[in-house]
A and B are shown apart, each in its own frame.
Chain A
Amino acid sequence: MKKDIILAGVGGQGILTVAAILGTAAIKRGMNLKQAEVHGMSQRGGDVQSHLRLSDETIWSDLIPFGSADMILSVEPLEALRYLPYLKDDGWIITNSTPFKNIPNYPSEEDIYAEIKKIPNYVLLNADAKAKEQNASRSMNIVVLGAAIKHLGFSSEEIAEAIKTIFAPKGDAIVEANLRALQAGVDN
């Protein structure tokens, strides 16, 4: 198996946690991984992205070539569109529909959703609302991950295991909240 995933969002929205969970699950399977992150100036409320590459074969480049990503997994709808040049023709966009508006010229939501719907394979879900329903309002990113995993070939059991590993140091309550968020995304 080989999956190239662009993770997108705004600094502080938790895309690196999503990367860590997917990475942990992939390593458990014995896959190789490369994950390029963004640090520094760009994290200050700006757009951030991470290139996550998982493969049974050797992975060479830390960056995903344009036109070859299997998925754009975004925790913010405008950010999902920013990386379209990376997506391959039959790739998936899985994105939260809740906008993060920290710029004065943020486009209208209708226009953003219309652009997302032009992509043949897309999932557009209100991850903020679903996380809130589960009393896990800080786990919006995990809801989006839940909606993504079947298109990545991972089972919810594998991802749940990885969530337990990653969040264990933060205590049972946080692990449980994230497992509920994951399931809400899977059931979407």
Chain B
Amino acid sequence: MPKLMLLGDEALAQGALDAGISGFYGYPGTPSTEIIEYAQRSKQAEENKIHRTWSSNEKTALETALGMSALGKRAMVTMKHVGLNVAADPFMNSAVTGASGGLIVAVADDPSMHSSQNEQDSRYYGHFAMLPVLEPSNQQECYDMAFYGFELSEKFHIPVLLRLTTRLAHSRSGITRRNPLPQKEMKKPEDMFQFMLLPAIARKKYQHHLSLQKDFLAESENSAYNIYTAKRKNTKLGIITTGLAYNYLREAYHGDEIPYPVLKISQYPLPEKQIHQLYATCDELLVVEEGMPFAEEMIKGFAFPGLKPVHGRLDGYLPRAGELNPNLVAKALSLPDTIGRPVPEIVVGRPPALCVGCPHSDTFLSLNEVMADYGRGNVFSDIGCYTLGFMPPYNSINSCVDMGASITMAKGAADSGLFPAVAVIGDSTFCHSGITGLLDCVYDKANVMIIILDNSTTAMTGGQNYTGYGKLEDICLGIGVEKEHIRVFVPLKKNYPEIIQIYKEELAYNGVSVVIARRECIQTLKKKNKLETPE
């Protein structure tokens, strides 16, 4: 078979398809979105009727994947790093129930926060749940680890966490495929206690999970993905890399042989045996990892006198925050650094901005006219393109914390006595995590105005479908928002007088108002028009 040129995300999806997966579940989030998008485009997935539509959020996605695994089939759930916070409850508990059919939890971390609120490192979650973690170092490993991940999951009947990082998820390279495997047959769990975490059963299952830890360690120490190159003359330094950091190390030596012993880690728990050997062989250690100093902290522990130095992100050999690059790794090894010309002084930043013709722009500009009387600090917002409403020329919003937090923070602000308390949330974000917050508002008859920006898509990540499309009014009605306080407008300049009137009326109402600003995303609209009118 010829090589395929795939993003790390796409390689993982193709690997899962070839490894006999039956269902992908997930919610879009940079840099993980392309895993499911690839499966959605795949003819192979279509022919084999593989499930690959989006879920409402990461929690529902993980639970659904667990349900599929419970019935013996192979499943994958995908999300960005902060999505695992949303899915943390089923994730932690699925470690105790275990899985049946292979279950891979694929999480894409975003060190340097290219498109995220933080740079949390999912390996800590793997450690927390005491589950094996796979961290591919290149696109081929992304593909191969789909097979291996399912095998490992089925061998021990546990979910496996697979961690990607931005520069692997969104970088393309050649992939060699294997022969595809058939899907697994559906079969009910033999053990009716497996997914029943009543305390008495959970205690037994937890003991079993603890007893597996030595097996997970043995798997890591014998894994073909953890490679220890011991025989090197210069033992002043021993180098440990994790995931794609290995590539930067090789780049720093221009692909030549590395003069020091190197342990390349792509499977966790950390392979203790090889780390002990490296420590015993070398005078000092350098730990190079993409993300937070996870391995470094584990290896270093407390710095007792007499222990050999362990260098890395914690002692300044590498920066404490942000993603790695070849130059940072070269500097940590005292190799010559390279740099081109400086950026000329005239070069100014070009920050992201709302698109020309974006419906959010009209919603914000009209809102500003009403809010001008109250000063800044009354409008809570959320995660999406519209977070750019914080920037000039809008300066309309004053918060962006996590999915759904606009509604609940506005409620807390109203509870504190703030008036007016306004929330601005996208349609897809509302369906992800806003609905329960709205129910809180209705329950307390909170004095809030919630603006749902309905552009009919999950725009930030490139225009994915979402589960509540076309149902927003019905959802609000069903939750108990009064019909006369569910208002809809079309965000266009010509409608400003009407829009401002709606805002004023709903601000004057002492209770829960939902105002829906409905106009399609300009990007998805352009795409559709292109499809309909070929040049």
Q: Residues of A with Cβ closer than 8 Å to B? A: 10-11, 23, 27, 32-47, 51, 57-69, 78-79, 81-82, 84-89, 91, 102-103, 105-107, 111-112, 115, 119, 170-171, 173-174
Q: With an 8 A cutoff between CB atoms, is B53 at the interface?
A: no
Is the pair B346, A107 in contact by a Cβ cutoff of 8 Å? yes
B52 to chain A, nearest CB (A): 19
Query: Per-residue CB proximity of B481-510 to A under 8 Å, as 1/0?
Result: 000000000000000000000000000000
Q: With an 8 A cutoff between CB atoms, is B192 at the interface?
A: no
How many angstroms between the C-alpha atoms of A167 and B346 in the bound complex? Answer: 37
B290 to chain A, nearest CB (A): 11
How many angstroms between the C-alpha atoms of A41 and B170 in the bound complex? Answer: 14
Q: With an 8 A cutoff between CB atoms, is B351 at the interface?
A: yes
Is the pair A35, B251 in contact by a Cβ cutoff of 8 Å? no
Instruction: Tell me the B385-427 residues at the A interface (CB within 8 Å).
Output: 385, 388
Given contacts A60-B255, A112-B346, contact A39 B30 (CB under 8 A): yes
- Among residues of A, the one whose C-beta sits closest to the C-beta of B393 is A104
- For the complex, count residues of B whose C-beta is within 8 A of A: 52
By Cβ-Cβ distance, the 3 closest A-B pairs, closest first, are: A40-B30, A40-B115, A67-B338
Q: With an 8 A cutoff between CB atoms, is B168 at the interface?
A: yes
- Among residues of A, the one whose C-beta sits closest to the C-beta of B459 is A44
How many angstroms between the C-alpha atoms of A37 and B115 in the bound complex? Answer: 13
Is the pair B174, A33 in contact by a Cβ cutoff of 8 Å? yes
Is the pair A61, B172 in contact by a Cβ cutoff of 8 Å? no
Is the pair A47, B247 in contact by a Cβ cutoff of 8 Å? no
Is the pair A39, B339 in contact by a Cβ cutoff of 8 Å? no
Q: With an 8 A cutoff between CB atoms, is B19 at the interface?
A: no
B114 to chain A, nearest CB (A): 6
A5 to chain B, nearest CB (A): 14
How many angstroms between the C-alpha atoms of A84 and B342 in the bound complex? Answer: 6
Which of B146-154, B281-289, B325-333 participates in binding chain A? B325-333
Is the pair B30, A41 in contact by a Cβ cutoff of 8 Å? yes
A-B contact count (CB 8 A): 161
- Among residues of B, the one whose C-beta sits closest to the C-beta of A10 is B350
B138 to chain A, nearest CB (A): 8
Q: Which of A32, A60, A112 contacts B174 (CB 8 A)?
A: A32
A134 to chain B, nearest CB (A): 14
Is the pair A115, B346 in contact by a Cβ cutoff of 8 Å? yes
How many angstroms between the C-alpha atoms of A64 and B325 in the bound complex? Answer: 8
Is the pair B341, A27 in contact by a Cβ cutoff of 8 Å? no
Is the pair A35, B354 in contact by a Cβ cutoff of 8 Å? no
Query: Per-residue CB proximity of B73-99 to A under 8 Å, as 1/0?
Result: 000000000000000000000000000
A14 to chain B, nearest CB (A): 14
Q: SS class of chain B's interface: helix, strand, loop or mixed? A: loop
Q: Which residues of A contact B342 (CB under 8 A)?
A: 84-85
Given contacts A41-B460, A84-B343, A91-B340, contact A65 B171 (CB under 8 A): no
- Among residues of A, the one whose C-beta sits closest to the C-beta of B461 is A40
Can you name 23 A-B pairs with beta carbons within 8 Å? Answer: A38-B114, A39-B30, A40-B115, A41-B30, A41-B352, A45-B353, A46-B352, A47-B349, A60-B251, A62-B173, A62-B247, A63-B248, A64-B326, A65-B325, A66-B338, A66-B340, A67-B340, A82-B343, A84-B342, A86-B340, A88-B338, A88-B340, A115-B346
Q: With an 8 A cutoff between CB atoms, is B301 at the interface?
A: no
Given contacts A39-B33, A40-B461, A66-B327, contact A61 B338 (CB under 8 A): no
B48 to chain A, nearest CB (A): 23
How many angstroms between the C-alpha atoms of A102 and B248 in the bound complex? Answer: 35
Is the pair B460, A40 in contact by a Cβ cutoff of 8 Å? yes
Is the pair A61, B251 in contact by a Cβ cutoff of 8 Å? yes
How many angstroms between the C-alpha atoms of A44 and B357 in the bound complex? Answer: 13
Q: Which residues of A contact B325 (CB under 8 A)?
A: 61, 63, 65-66
Q: Which residues of A contact B34 (CB under 8 A)?
A: 39
Add 9 more A-B contacts to A41-B30, A103-B349 (CB < 8 A): A36-B167, A42-B114, A44-B353, A59-B173, A60-B250, A61-B250, A63-B248, A81-B347, A103-B348
Is the pair A61, B114 in contact by a Cβ cutoff of 8 Å? no
Which residue, of A34, A45, A62, has the highest number of chain B Cβ atoms within 10 A? A62
Is the pair B339, A37 in contact by a Cβ cutoff of 8 Å? no
Q: With an 8 A cutoff between CB atoms, is B111 at the interface?
A: no
How many angstroms between the C-alpha atoms of A87 and B347 in the bound complex? Answer: 16
Given contacts A37-B171, A62-B168, contact A78 B7 (CB under 8 A): no
- Among residues of B, the one whose C-beta sits closest to the C-beta of A100 is B350
Given contacts A45-B352, A105-B348, contact A39 B326 (CB under 8 A): no
A62 to chain B, nearest CB (A): 4
B403 to chain A, nearest CB (A): 15
Q: With an 8 A cutoff between CB atoms, is B355 at the interface?
A: yes
Q: Which of B30, B326, B348 contacts A61 (CB 8 A)?
A: B326
Q: Which residues of B contact A85 (CB under 8 A)?
A: 339-343
- Among residues of B, the one whose C-beta sits closest to the C-beta of A61 is B251
